Each structure stands twice: as structure tokens, then as C-alpha cells.
Structure 1
Amino acid sequence: MLAAALMHAGWNAVVRVGGDRFSSILLLSMTQSGLALILLPFAAQPLPAAWPWIAGAGLLHTGYKLFLIRAYQHGDLSQIYPLARGAAPPMVALGGIALFHEHLPPAGWAAVALIALGVGLMAFRGGAGVSRLPVKALAYALGTAVFVASYTLADGQGARIAQTATGFAMWMFVGDGLCMLAYAVATRGPRAPVAVVSEWRTGLPAGMLSLGSYWIALWAFTRAPVALVAALRETSVLFALLIGVFLLKEEAGRWRVAAGVAIAAGVVAMRL
């Protein structure tokens, strides 16, 4: 899961520095779908009851990507990424109670509180004060978090019903790619798939990192409580903060660092 977290932060950084982020994300989705189609013959097929979950998960992943594109248009990686990812575990924890009857112990709720504190710090002080935090950046980042929580719960339930994490993942990636392709053609015209070729330097590596990262996560959903897996995966916010500061040369004041520490502490508490 730590390897998956690093890969997830890595593909977000690649997309953040890309020129046309929509094209990068579209190529990411097409790369995922292409790799998934190649791997499908070697994967077990999901049980019939899992197909509605596969379809719903594909739509949720597409919504997540579209909101993420908008968020990166208005904010930095080291600010948007912790917001989008850090706000999701508390939502997943609450959703896990309703969907999986997975009740958290006191340490788990302490983790939720720490993550929420980190998210609040990143949102309201991480950008050097409320006055400098773009409202649209906050709105799209939190909207992205809602999609993250929703697809996490849907994928966790779907992978368990499918009784094959790999089969569920590959078909979900195919569905996500088709949804993104349909949206691109509807909004940018029939030549949209051809236009993404210019973004291959960011789209292709991002697609491979994204597929590897979430394939691991889906496997983990079938081995451990969903809230636990989701929280451990959010150690990626620290990788993203380091990438943003040291590679993208983004500013990181004491509040961003404090927010990252709070989120990390919450992740550790969730793991315990």
C-alpha cells in the first residue's frame, strides 16, 4: 500500500506539470484501458452480481478525474492533493459503517479527527491564509474527495462481490476509459482522442502508475477493512508534498508542513 501511495502521488505530479491536463488525464485513462484489455485474458471473470458495481465504479472514477482536472487549474499540487485525498478517509469511515458494518474503535475516530484537522489547515492556512486560497480550488478539491470516497466504497464492495480483485479492476479500468473517451468526444469533438498524442510524455507514465496504484488498492480492499486501506493509502499526501516542494519548487510554509504532519498522524492512528 505504501508503494501504491507513492505511485499515486507520482501520477498526480506528472499530470500537475503537464500542459493540457485534460489531454493528460484522457491519455491516462486510455492507457489504463489499453493495458487492462491486454491483461483481461489472464484475469478471472467477476461474478455476475458485480457488474452493476463495475459500471458504477467506472462512472465515479470518471467524475473524480474531471473534478481533479478542475482543481489543478486553480491550485498547487502540495495544496490540492492533500485536500482531495485527506478529506476522503473520514467519509469512507462513515460510509464503511453503513455499507460494511465496519465500526471503528476510539483510535480510529481519533484518526478521523486528525485527518480532518490536517485538511482544515491545508485548506485555510496552507495557501498563506484564507484570502489567498482560491474558492474554486477548495470547492473542486472537496468535490474530488467526495468522488474518492464514493468510488472507494463502491470498489471495495464490488471487488468483494466479484471475488476477483484483478478481474474487477481490469473491467473497471475499461469502463472508466470508455466514459472518459465519450466525454472527450462530446465536449471536444471526434478528434479529441487523436489530439492527446501530444501529451504522451505525461499521459503514458501517469496511466501506468495509476493502474498499478489502484490495482494494489483493490486487492487490499479484499484483504482488510476498507477504511483502513483508504487511510493507509493517503500516506500519498506526504509523497505529494515532498514532490511538490523538492521537484516542482512549490512553496511550503509551516502551515502546509503542520497540515501534512496532522494528516500523517491520522493515517498512523488509523493503521493502529
Structure 2
Amino acid sequence: MDLHIFLAVLLAALLHASWNLLVKLDLDRFLALLLISCVMGLMGIAMLIAFPWPSLASAPYFITSGLLHVGYNMFLARSYRTGDLSQVYPIARGTAPLITFIAAWALAGETVGGIGALGILLLVGGIWLTARPGHQSIRLDGMTLFFALGTSGFIAAYTIVDGFGARLSGSASAYAGMLFVLDAVFMIIVALLTRGPAAFRQILPSWKSGTAGAALSAGAYWIVIWAMSLAPIAAVAALRETSILFVMLMSAVFLKEKVTGFRLMGAVLIVLGAVALRMS
């Protein structure tokens, strides 16, 4: 993987970890994600004005991805309602790179070299080690685990869809902008059906943190979509999950969540996996 793509995806990982911390700290989880999606939709409109529109060939992909992102948001919000950030986040992100790797190979014959494959496996193993419970205060009931794993499935699905769609779009930036707009539209529909117009009155007082979260989230996934248009989808998908290192640090500092020996071992594997992907 080229150095500039490698560094850009690491930046995306930092941005992604930061907005997940914001969702966990401040707001009702669903309302936080709704607010972030709405602001990202406005950013998407600006992006569509600034860049040429994506080609029609990519339309089925960004529509499908928009729907998948709604499922991801719903499952993520439910996971965070009953689970700790440092527990839910690794599980939600941990299986997705492996699923993405298999799907990219099965659906498009996309492969990575031996070192790249080793890097993906090291990253997945490290992420799962960080998810290992090591303290009685860590809550991981069956429903939380179900929704965290379901979130992982949505991540893998929209990653594959967006990787292929961005390559067909003619402009990865325009594709990202269209996706952000559709994500906002679909989330607004879900909010109206499940919470009614009152949901939008509830999110207004938190517009500052919502704008910050949207900027972080949009920046993170914009970079990832761009990277997947240039590098193997599976490699990008795995490397962005180095965000778990940032989550571990942030959850320990800001949420006072315990970092166990297993999680430190997992962090080492994640770093080794990132190094292997850089060398591939």
C-alpha cells in the first residue's frame, strides 16, 4: 500500500474513533446519530456542488449503501445503549475486515498478497483480543453481543458496496457526497416513523456536538471511500480498524474504562498488522 494512502487511512481511523467517543459521551445514541447524519447530509450537498456528480452506473451502489448505513446506525445505537465503548466498539468493528476480505475475493476476485493477508489476520486477532472482558464491570449481555455483531455485518456489507461503487462513480468525492445525502434522508424517514417530529426539536440543543461529530465522521469515511478507489478494499477496510487503538486510549482517559492485559496484547497485534499492510 502506498505511503500516502496508508497515512490517510490512519487519519480516518483517528477521526472515526473520535466521533464514536462523542456519540457515547453526550447524547441519546439514536438522536446523536440522527443529528450527525443530518449535518453530514448538508455536507454532502456541498460536496455535490463542488464535485461532478457520480455516474449513473454507481447509483445502485450508493442507494444500497445508504440503506445499509441506516441499519448500521440503528444497530450501533442499540449496542451503545447497554454496552461499554471499549467492549462494543472492538466487537462491532472486529469481524468486519475478515468478512470484507472474503467477500471482496468471492464477489470480485480481489486478492491481497501473503503479507497483506497476514496483516488482516493480525488486525482481526488483535481487535478481538481487545474485546475480551477482563473486569466484572464490563457488561456484555446476549442482546448487546447480537447487535454488536450485527453492526459488524452492516459494516462489511456497506464497505464492499462502497468500494465497488466508488470505482464506478468517476469521482470518489462525489460518490461520498451522494451517500451522505441519502444517509440523511433515510435517517430522517426512520426518525419520523419511530419518534415523530419531536425528535428534531430534541436534537437542536446539541447542534454544536452534532456538527463536530458529523465533521469527524464525514472526514473519516470520505477518506476511506477515496482510498478504496485506489487500493484493495480488504486492505483499506482492515487498516481503518486501527481506530480501536485510539478508542482504547480515549475510553481509558475520558470514560475511565479499564484497559486489561489482553487488550494491550491486542494493541500490539493491531500495530503489527498495520505494519504488514504497509509492507504489502
Mark the CA change 1:261 to 1:75 in structure 2 (over 3 Å): closer, same or farther: farther
Structure 1 SS opposite 2:231:
coil
Q: 1:3 to 1:120 in 2, by over 3 A?
A: closer
2:63 is aligned with 1:55: yes
Match 1:109 to one of 117, 130, 142: 117
- Percent identical among aligned pairs is 42
CA distance in 2, matches of 1:169, 1:117: 30
Greater Cα shift, 7-16 or 94-103: 94-103
- Is the contact made by 2:112 and 2:235 (CA closer than 8 Å) also made in structure 1? no
Structure 1 contact 159–222 (Cα < 8 Å) conserved = yes
Partner of 2:6 in structure 1? none
Counterparts of 1:112 and 1:120 in 2: how far apart (Å)? 12
RMSD across aligned positions (CA): 1.9
Cα pair 2:92 2:152 within 8 Å, conserved: yes
User: In 1, Cα distance between the equivalents of 2:278 and 2:100?
Assistant: 14
Given that 1:86 and 1:237 are in contact with CA atoms closer than 8 Å, whether structure 2 keeps it comes out as no
Amino acid at match of 1:197: L
Measure the CA separation in 2 of the matches of 1:112 and 1:216: 19
Partners of 1:86 and 1:269 lie apart in 2 by 17
Q: Out of 179, 192, 207, which is 1:185 matched to?
A: 192
State the distance in 2 between where 1:186 and 1:108 align.
Answer: 44
Could you list the runs of 5+ residues in structure 1 that have no partner in the other structure?
Answer: none
State the one-letter code of the partner of 2:30: F
Matches within 5 A, 1:1-272: 1-123=9-131, 125-128=132-135, 133-272=140-279
Inter-partner Cα distance in structure 2 for 1:132 and 1:8: 23
Q: Displaced runs of 4+ in structure 1, greater than 6 A?
A: none
- Aligned partners of 2:118 and 2:273 also within 8 Å: yes
Partner SS, residue 234 of structure 1: helix
Paired residue type of 1:187:
T
**What displacement does 1:214 show?**
0.7
In structure 1, how many angstroms separate the alpha carbons of the residues matched to 2:116 and 2:171? 28
In the TM superposition, what is the alpha-carbon distance from 1:27 to its structure 2 partner?
0.2
Deviation at 1:196, TM superposition (A): 1.2
User: Secondary structure at 1:73's aligned position in 2?
Assistant: helix
Contact 1:23/1:199 (<8 A) preserved: no
- Post-superposition offset of 1:109: 3.1
Q: TM-score, normalised by structure 2?
A: 0.90
Change (3 A) 1:270 1:142: farther
Counterparts of 1:195 and 1:67, CA distance in 2? 21
Ranges in structure 2 where 5+ consecutive residues have no aligned partner: 1-8
Summarize the Cα distance change of 1:212–1:159 in structure 2 as closer, same or farther, 3 Å threshold: same
1:190-245: CA deviation from partner (whole Å, max 9, x where unpaired): 23222211332432211111111111111111111111111111111101111111
Q: How many residues align?
A: 271
Q: 1:220 to 1:77 in 2, by over 3 A?
A: same
- Structure 1 CA distance for aligned equivalents of residues 128 and 44 of structure 2: 37
Whether the aligned pair in 2 keeps the contact of 1:71 and 1:140 (CA below 8 Å) is: yes
Contact 1:15 1:202 in 2 (8 A): no
